Chains A and B, each alone.
Chain A
């Protein structure tokens, strides 16, 4: 595990220090949809979250990015409060050629999400972490004819296993340096 972590850090460093990096960064407002369904019981939560990403193009239409998200507002169902603590992950980004100022992109990666649940004000069961492959995509348009600033609408699946799903939709801005 330590060797793998060291290798990952080393590779990130190598990627970032390569010459002529084409970097980008972005922020977004997220609508999270999390469903817990077990036997005949189910609860659905829609907390809100803010996210950011930083990445670099390794090919003209292929990028690699780190993303993070933190909760902005919780939601409740069945007298259970649910908050998103954080999401951290890494994804590969694949874009289609731009047409009339817009393009479609796809994301495939791996991430960790922590949710905080409070049953009927007891504070229990507390937090739980979920790690899984994440995937999704979106559409992106140049903002006001800018060649650096883009607005995007994105949908992602962060976790879908064992009766629990965590999905998200976001509206965000991305700046290409």
Chain B
């Protein structure tokens, strides 16, 4: 026994020592490459390509890189910027983030590399201290556009001393609008230079960097917007706490196709039954409606007006309204056989009776006939009768002789909630 105890202690020490060699918990080396190989082959990626706006940028600025994957089947390309590993050949000159944003630190040329599994691509980046001589704004935006448009983009091109090719410096210039109530220009990361028109008038946009600037002018014409269509536009109902995304499409006299103006129209929800605006339904600036309280509401999408001005003086260029009903959420509470009767008599002539099962909901008024539903199960709890479980004749009770039987019905909803009821069926 003494020897066995010694052996057991030895074995335990041995196990603990072995575990200690491999740290306290498990781990791996090289498993990330395994996962990437699975991702690459699952997506059928055959190659990746690195792109950016510029090959040469100022020292002390950022340059955004993208990685585009060639796909063997399905869509031909896929943006995998956030899936690849980014690296710089010399981080003392240029560093790069996990999302592909390079920051130039000192003058010099580096190789920016994106890789996933065994696939990779590279692109050189020159961090240059050359002096900015001038800025030119280019754009596909017409000189006159309608209200509530968005998506037109201004591009800032920087002309640098000693360089024949302008650099795209849209993301590093300072963008301003001289009439932001008429039209705004994007300054947030990813939306730099994007124009949104809000109401009729004139606006000028300026790109400025290192005391160099350029300006473009824009006329916003309220009359170019002829109508707004909102979807969904009928039969809209939602529960309290639920939400509904609305989309606004604008028809413009100068555009061949309607434009999505969901993000630039003014959304509002007025109560159809009086009361405080927004009491039943609350609208976000992005067109998302959220049910607040039970009642009828009317969603409006309008454009071109000034919410702070007298509507008579400056009404919306156009607007549209959609009726919305906000309801109290209902849940399944019970099931009833033959309106919850205790007993039913079978037909003495053919010794049968057809039972009916209805679901009852929490609002007390909603019912649903589920007699023949596939989730409804009819059984005999006692007695000699039989009950049909065949599709189309579920709930039909048959007797072969006089007597009494207790019949049970149960129903399981999609959330797994089960409700049941019983009834006595007699034949005398």
Interface residues on B, range: 35 or more
Choose among A19, A41, A64, A128 the residue that contacts B31 (Cβ–Cβ < 8 A). Answer: A128
- Residue numbers in B under 8 Å from A43 (CB-CB): 38, 41-42
Cβ of B117 within 8 Å of any chain A Cβ, yes or no, is yes
Please classify the interface of chain A as helix (H, G, I), strand (E, B), loop, or mixed, using the class held by over half of its residues.
Answer: strand
In whole angstroms, what is the CA distance A19 to B2 when docked?
Answer: 12
In whole angstroms, what is the CA distance A18 to B2 when docked?
Answer: 12
- Residue numbers in A under 8 Å from B35 (CB-CB): 36, 38, 163-164
In whole angstroms, what is the CA distance A11 to B13 when docked?
Answer: 8
Instruction: Mark interface residues in A19-59 (1 if CB within 8 Å of B CB, else 0).
Output: 11000000000000000101111110000000000000011
Cβ of B20 within 8 Å of any chain A Cβ, yes or no, is yes
In whole angstroms, what is the CA distance A39 to B36 when docked?
Answer: 11
Using A4-B20, A64-B14, A90-B18 as known contacts, say yes or no to A131 and B26 having CB atoms under 8 A apart.
yes
In whole angstroms, what is the CA distance A73 to B167 when docked?
Answer: 56
B14 touches A11 (CB 8 A): yes
- Residue numbers in B under 8 Å from A156 (CB-CB): none
B14 touches A115 (CB 8 A): no
A78 touches B27 (CB 8 A): no
Cβ of A96 within 8 Å of any chain B Cβ, yes or no, is no
A110 touches B37 (CB 8 A): no
Q: Find the A residue at minimum CB distance from B4.
A: A59
Min CB–CB distance B294 → chain A (angstroms): 39
B26 touches A159 (CB 8 A): yes
In whole angstroms, what is the CA distance A20 to B8 when docked?
Answer: 14
Choose among A39, A117, A133, A164 the residue that contacts B28 (Cβ–Cβ < 8 A). Answer: A164
Cβ of B381 within 8 Å of any chain A Cβ, yes or no, is no
- Residue numbers in B under 8 Å from A102 (CB-CB): none
Interface residues of A, CB < 8 Å — how many?
51
Choose among A8, A12, A79, A161 the residue that contacts B27 (Cβ–Cβ < 8 A). Answer: A161
Min CB–CB distance B307 → chain A (angstroms): 43
Q: Find the A residue at minimum CB distance from B8.
A: A58
- Residue numbers in B under 8 Å from A62 (CB-CB): 8, 11
- Residue numbers in A under 8 Å from B36 (CB-CB): 125
Q: Find the B residue at minimum CB distance from A108.
A: B15
Instruction: Mark interface residues in B28-58 (1 if CB within 8 Å of A CB, else 0).
Output: 1111011111111111000000000000000
B15 touches A38 (CB 8 A): no
Choose among B3, B15, B30 the residue that contacts A128 (Cβ–Cβ < 8 A). Answer: B30
A58 touches B41 (CB 8 A): no
A162 touches B28 (CB 8 A): yes
Min CB–CB distance A43 → chain B (angstroms): 5
Cβ of B118 within 8 Å of any chain A Cβ, yes or no, is yes
- Residue numbers in B under 8 Å from A110 (CB-CB): 15, 18-19, 22
A132 touches B8 (CB 8 A): no
Choose among A14, A19, A90, A126 the residue that contacts B15 (Cβ–Cβ < 8 A). Answer: A90
B residues engaging A (CB < 8 A)?
Answer: 3-4, 6-8, 10-11, 13-15, 17-23, 25-31, 33-43, 117-118
